[in-house]
Every structure is written in C-alpha cells, then in structure tokens.
Amino acid sequence: MKQLKLTGFLFFFFLTESLTLPTKPQDVDDVSITQKFIEDNIGYITIIAFAQYIQEASFEEVEMLVKAMTEYRDKCLADMALPECSKLANDVLLENICTMEGLPQKHNFSHCCHKADFERKHCFLYNKKADVGFLPPLPTLDPEEKCQTYKNNRESFLNNYIYEVSRRNPFVFAPTLLTAAARFEEMTKTCCEEQEKANCFRTKAETFIQYLKALSSYQKNVCGALMKFGPQILKSINIAVLSQKFPKIEFKDLISLLEDVSSKYDGCCEGDVVQCIHGRSKVMSHICSKQDSISSKIKECCEKKIPERGECIIYSNKDDRPNNLPLREAKFTESENVCEERDADQENFMAEFLYQYSRRHPELSTPELLRIAGVYEDLLRECCNTKNPPDCYRHAENKFNETTEKSLKIVQRECEHFQISGKDDLKYHYLINLTKLAPQLSTEELTFLGKEMVTALTTCCTLSEEFACVDNLVDLVLGELCGINENRSINPAVDHCCKTNFAFRRSCFEGLEADKTYVPPSTSQGLFTFHTDLCQAHNEELQRKKDRFLVNLVKLKPELTREELQSLLVDFTNVVKKCCQAQGPEACFKEEGPKLSAKSQVA
C-alpha cells in the first residue's frame, strides 16, 4: 500500500454529519482526487470495513481480504468495462467476505450472506457489537519494541493498528479512523526519536484517545438518532448545528444544503466506507464553493488542498452573528398569520423556525434547540385550535425561556455536585446511578459511561459556555447508553427514554428510578474472591478494578443504599491495602474476602 495521505478526510464534527452533494462540473477535480485517494488506500479501507463488520475475524483473515480487494482494484483499473467493475464497492466487499471459505460459518454470519442488496447490508450492520468485552485486551508493546516493529515493517505495523482500533470501534466512520491512523503514525515517528519514549507515548496518547472518543461518541449518537427516529430528526440536528456555526447563511442556502442529506449519510452509519469518503469530500467542496455567503472564518481553510481543508473547516470558529440580526424573529410569535403559514408547509415552517432560533442563540446546546422547537410545535398545535391563536402563541418566548431554565437548573445542579464532590466521589455517584437504572448492561459499558459522565462535567463546569458544553456532552453519553441499533433493548423504563423523544430524553432519564424488573444473580459469582493480582495492579489498573467491583456489587445487591455501597467500597479498598502489605497476601485475601461478603449480606 502507498503512503497514507488523509489528513483532511475527517468527518464534519458537529457540522455536516449528513450532507452530500450532487457532482457538478466544477467538482470534477475534487471527485478525481477523492477517487485517487480511495484507490491508493484500498488496503486500509478494506481493513476498516472488514474489522468493523466481522469483529471476531483474525488479522490473518483480514489480510486475505485485503489481497482479494487489491486484486479487484488492479483488475478494474486495467479494464473498467468488466461487468464486476460496475458494482458498488461495498457490495463487492461483502461478496468477498461471504465467499471466503468457511468464514461465514466460523464467525456466525452466514445468515447475512443468504440475503441480498439492502437486506444483506443491514444484516451486517446489525451484526456489529458495540460492547467489545468479548475481544481480548488491546495488545500493548514496550515503546522500544513498538519503534523497532514500526521501523522493520511500517505497513504491517499500521495495518495491525487500524485492524485493532476498527474492530473495537465498529460504528466509527472510516474517515475518522483513517485520520486517527495518520495521527498515530505521526505520534510514533515523533516518540521513536525521543530519549524518553515511554513518557512521550503516554503524554501524546491521552490527547489522541480523547480525540477518537469524542468523534466516536458524536457519530454513534447521530447514527442512533437516524436509526431510531428517522431522517427528520437528523435534519433538525443539522439545521441547529449549521445555523449556529454559520449564522449568516441564508435559509434558502441552508435548505439547498439540507436537500443533499441523502443515502450517502446512511452509508457512513452503515459502514459503507467508500460512499462515506466520497460524500464527505463533496461536502467540503460545496461549503468552499459558497464560502462568501456561508462564513467569513473559512477562507484560509478553503485555500488549502483537499486533504487538509476538511479538518481546518471543522475546527474553525463559529462565525460572528450578523449585526443586523434582531434578537427575535417576529414572524413566529407576533404575526397574525402564523397558523396559516404553518398549515401551508409545516415541515418548511418548522425548519425555518429552528434555523432562526439557532442562529440567534449560539449559547444553547443542540439538544436544547431541539427542545425549543418541540415546545413551539406543541404550542402551535394547541393555539391554532383556539378562537384567538395570536393571543395564545404571543407568549411563546416565555415558554422557551421556561424550557431553557429547566435544562439550565439540571446542569447547574450537576456542576455544583462536581464542585462539592470531586472526581472520584462523582464517578462513584454515576456508577451507582447508572447501574441501578440499567443493570442489564455489561460491567465494561457501565464503567465507561460513568467515566464519560465525569469527563463531561470536569471538561465543562469551569467554562463560560458551561450550559451548552455539559448538555451536549451528557447527551452524547446518553447516546452511548441508548446505542445505535433500533432493536437494542435494556429494560422497559430505559427503552422508553431512549425511543420516545430524542430532544427530551435527558429530562426523561432525570425522572428514572432503579429498574424494578431486574432480578439480581443468586450467587456472588466470585465477587468476593480476591487474588494477589490486586497487589500487582498500578494506580490506574487498581482504580479500574475498584470501579468494576462497585458496579458488580450494585448488580448483586441493587437494594443497598448509596451510603451502604460506598461503605463496602471503602472496606474493599482497605482489604486490598491490608493484604498487599501482609506477609502472605493470598492467605489474607482468603480470610478477608468472606468477611466482606458477610458484611454485604447485613448492610
């Protein structure tokens, strides 16, 4: 495979997640460059698609498919008139996966291979598993060994990295994974030249991991919205985000952009790697072709070459609000003809309301803007059936303010809790809460969600834009909890919050109590059996074991109060400290474990 050249093929974070454009004559060069990029990187693209669809597949099996797809590319480049070269790339990929001898039976996806076209694609999509606890831990190499492996065989090193990351992130869009691979290689090159290699990798990896996690959460959240609620909610998300980012864009231009929200977005969510990359590149071309009417902040970005300009645009600042933009749009609350205009074209009317409100309120989160739109829609449904509608909807701004005030109080309460409790106590609070709400989730999922809630608050609670930041990030955590697949089921109460109303799911979760349908395991399943591996665990690993202990304790004893659970966690910490300092740690654990178990029975 050739050099990985992909800096700008990053998805449009909080911006153009779903936009794709028709090919126009002026876009031909861009399309050609994108196509060349895909051809040059067919190996990496194949690894991502295969590892995401069939997460259990071995690296050797992935390499076999890469060989088959590379041969297919070479054959078609030599003669595009061949019948097989007219097929969609994703269809060819799935056909090759299905014809690999013994593979469908070995990894239990033969039922997908018996389907065709759309049904086959969706079958592979629903075969993906968000909870990757069934995979072995991510392999780690000593820094010196890592650098030597990279030096000896760069291609195999990067292939293996993309494979391991892709199978553990089955819903992350291919452009994001390709960009992550490029960043990973940059990090490897830099750190392998340093004297303190381990420290360099540790420092740079943290930023890198946060980058991948942030993009992963957003993509899963938006794809989950699309699959559970359909294209209309996706359109609303994009209206809110685009209008805030580019407040001077005219509504007709925004609609022109939104009209191109098409099946290519489905491609990104469904893992159609090639379709996703093509669509993303077209978006950047469209944005830059109309930059004068869209934003004053992207001129320098659009002067960059196609591979670099995407990331530049994504991270450009929000444009300034137009000076002539009044604080309110009178058309929606003061006009006598609101009901008539709504009835003439309800979808377009509501889209324009969301556009006008979003561009005037850069301080609000995306979920809050969707809540306001929902409140307005409900209000008009009520007002337009009264004798005097204008008197009814004239007070709409009060309703909007009330809605925002409720959301603001939730965020303020959470940030106050963070300021008082500190990170560890806050994490235990969320681990207990989340496990009581959704004990059916795996321990890995629950510990991840708890940490993400804490990350949201520690990231945002000291910022001036605290409200939007917290509300946006917590919404991503709820998106992780609810998952992508529309048929995911946790328990009746959680399912109701996940599937009833996308904008208001946060307030729905606020009202939930412990799941009353949950039946805990009849035995402790080794929860109180401890071994000397606890003594070998470093700080971070020991903290993970404590988190897992707490989650599993809640699963075993959901009836215990928060105070009782935290008391038992303190006892567990003390047992570890005592036994690891004892002359015979194993004997100490054998004695102390049953004591802690007995204490949990009477707590």
Q: What residues form the annotated binding site for Ca(2+)?
A: 272
Which token pair is 9?
A: 């093929």
Residues 6+ apart with CB under 8 A from 75: 82, 84, 85
- Angle (CA) 12 241 406, round 5°: 135
Give how far Cα 534 sits from Cα of 263, 547, 578, Å. Answer: 50, 13, 11
Q: Where is 125: in which H helix or E strand?
A: helix 117-127
Residues 6+ apart with CB under 8 A from 129: 55, 170
- Angle (CA) 176 487 443, round 5°: 70
Distance, CA of 15 to CA of 242 (rounded, Å): 6
What is the amino acid identity at position 8?
Answer: G
Return binding residues: 272
What is the amino acid identity at position 484?
Answer: I
Buried b (16+ CB within 10 A) or exposed e, 205-231: eeebeebbbbbbbbbbbbbbbbbbbee
Residue 254: which of 167, 128, 354 has the closest Cα? 354
- In 96-243 the beta strands, taken as DSSP E runs, fall at none
Distance, CA of 320 to CA of 247 (rounded, Å): 7
What is the amino acid identity at position 470?
Answer: V
Give the phi and the psi of residue 19 in degrees, each rounded to 5. -95, 135
Return binding residues for Zn(2+): 272
Burial class (CB in 10 A: 0-12, 13-18, 19+), 430: buried
> Can you name the residues that pair with 261 across neighbouring β-strands?
19
Contact indicator for 287, 298 with CB cutoff of 8 Å = yes
Residue 287: which of 314, 308, 268, 265 has the closest Cα? 314
Q: Report the C-alpha dihedral over residues 431, 432, 437, 443, rounded to 10 degrees.
A: 50
Residue 237: which of 259, 250, 221, 216 has the closest Cα? 221
Distance, CA of 27 to CA of 21 (rounded, Å): 10
- Angle (CA) 511 514 517, round 5°: 120
Residue 286: which of 244, 258, 308, 266 has the closest Cα? 258
Distance, CA of 506 to CA of 210 (rounded, Å): 23
Q: What is the DSSP letter of 81?
A: T
Secondary structure in 3-state letters for 440-477? CCCHHHHHHHHHHHHHHHHHHCCCCCHHHHHHHHHHHH
Which token pair is 586?
A: 């194993």
* Longest alpha-carbon distance in the chain: 85
Burial class (CB in 10 A: 0-12, 13-18, 19+), 581: exposed
Name the 3-class secondary structure at 19. strand
